[in-house]
Structure 1
Amino acid sequence: MDILTSKANGILTIEFNRPEKKNAITSAMYQSMADALKDAEGDSAVRAIVIQGKPEVFTAGNDLEDFLKHSSAEVGDRPVAQFMRALSGATKPVIAGVAGNAVGIGTTMLMHCDLVYAADNARFTMPFTQLGLCPEFASSMLFPAMVGYPRAAEKLLLGEAFGAEEAYDMGLISKVVPVAELADLVHLQAAKLVALPASSLRVTKRLMKGAQAEAINARMMEENKHFGEMLMAKEAKEAFTAFFEKRRPDFTKFS
């Protein structure tokens, strides 16, 4: 199974389990995660949710071959959109444990989690412009709000990777720990949440998000429109062709 899910002691754990492909995410994997989150909303036994990868890698982002197979579908209808809407709208606390690379949506999804803990080997990348695309799933709104415009602009415009300490300094993540301590910390924090009143956590989370929920949904729709159009454009075709041909893309021919 490329996605492992388990429920124990009030915690739903969703784990990327495709290490041979660096946990690159397929449509089927997104659907599994979306279904697990939707199920958790109606399951009173689930009081906290954990999303994690492997000690070597969180996720390499979208599996590009699978992604391009479904490129003709409306972005908002894809399993990835179902997953992100379920994550963004989750009323229960969500904790992410990140080790190794978190590429593209691997970083975007963290902005919709409540607590994010990273191992000291974690690296974050949002290479949308390098692929001829634009930010996704409200990251163009949430990331500047979290880290400030100048830092957000550097990461989103250049698309370059940054490490765990910088991510912590910017405010993207809650804490950095050694790789060997990450899993224990994540589940310790999840257990603390399970022991607290579910109603208090639910209301506190809703109050913190406030009216932002509507703005997030609106920004997702706006980004999806641009993302879908850019996915069909020449720049993205050049970027993906270059990726599969293992060469640098040449964007200078496009204005």
Structure 2
Amino acid sequence: MADRAGGHEHEPHDQNHAARLNWLRAGVLGANDGIVSTAGLVIGVAAATTERSAIITAGLAGVAAGAMSMAAGEYVSVSTQRDTERALLAKERRELREMPEEELAELASLYQARGLSPELAHQVAVQLTQHDALAAHAEVELGIDPEELTNPWHAAWASMAAFTVGALLPLAAILLPAPPGRVAVTAVAVVVALALTGWISANLGGARLRPAVLRNVAGGVLAMTVTYAIGSVVGLSVS
């Protein structure tokens, strides 16, 4: 049923909703990275040795290193994005202060390019400029909300947490069973987990489920196969 504004109650279009979807998608991808990288590591070690202590050491080291790497990478990336957004906003503030008429005409032309008539585009530009000139220009010209700049610390902690959660699954799967079934149990658990994260990612992005799930699972299986082969060769050479 349509609401008073003409929208649909199940179709939120606000920027906060889009931001939440992006965070959730990033979390799923971070967990996926944790699953694949840790599974490849512990399966490679398990192929080389049956020593539980060696597998635990490698697995925990892999989880810690991967989580820190994800956090550091995300922090640097988002910090760079935030610095760019701040620089663009500072430039926009300066232009609004030094050449307000030119900026008003530019805003009107942008709305006209979106399909408004010249008269309506000018009226909209004038009203939005009177309300909040910086927000109006930032949204249309830059695609930035001055009140919702990206936070590098949030991104770093979220990536670290997502990676760690994903990484704990293959680590637990390789340690709980007895040595003869470790690799098989871990492989099955990882395939199921990757199918789930692929399904979630496809749903969040509105993509086709089957290709997304197959790509996800295929990548994980390839990683485990390669590391298992390497571990087997190394194990034979040192035994």
Per the TM superposition, whether the score is higher than 0.5 is no
Structure number having the greater strand percentage:
1
For normalisation by structure 1, the TM-score amounts to 0.21
* Higher relative contact order (CA closer than 8 Å, sequence separation 6+): 2
For normalisation by structure 2, the TM-score amounts to 0.22
